[in-house]
Amino acid sequence: MAAGDVVAGLGTVATTFQPAASVEVVLTSWGSNRQWVKMTNGVSNSFVWYFSDTAPNLQSQNMGQGSGGSKLCINNTIYITLPASVDNNYYCGIQIK
């Protein structure tokens, strides 16, 4: 893959998207229904977004089950994990380096 290529994944199993060394990606959309999407360095986790179709939050009321127009920059040391979901989890973005 090269800079400018689209990266994407879709599935129901738990997924870790960790680009290869020296690769950087800007995710433009990601989600997992009724689950936390986490940003991690392999040791520490930061919960990035909770996707819910029932909780009274801005995302569920106005933006469906997506990342709401946010951008997330990831690389080999800071990346995302998506939990298993009976509905699909997904990510998509563009490789920038």
The tokens of 13 are what?
A: 């199993």
Sketch out the chain's domains with CATH numbers: 6-95 (2.60.120)
Rounded CA gap, 84 and 93, in Å? 20
Q: In this predicted model, what pLDDT tens digit does every residue of 15-28 receive, in sequence order?
A: 899 999 999 999 98
* Cβ-based neighbours of 44, under 8 Å, separated by 6 or more: none
Structural contact between residues 88 and 11, judged by C-beta atoms closer than 8 angstroms: yes
Q: In this predicted model, what pLDDT tens digit does every residue of 31-88 receive, in sequence order?
A: 777 777 888 898 887 876 666 555 554 444 434 455 556 788 999 999 998 888 777 7
Of 97, 57, 74, the C-alpha closest to 9 is 74
Could you give the maximum distance between any two Cα atoms of the chain, in Å? 40
- Please, what's the b/e burial string for 24-33 (b: 16 or more CB within 10 A of its CB; e: otherwise)? ebebbbbbbe
Number of Cβ within a 10 Å radius of residue 15? 20
pTM above 0.85, yes or no: no
Cα dihedral sign, 50-51-55-58: positive
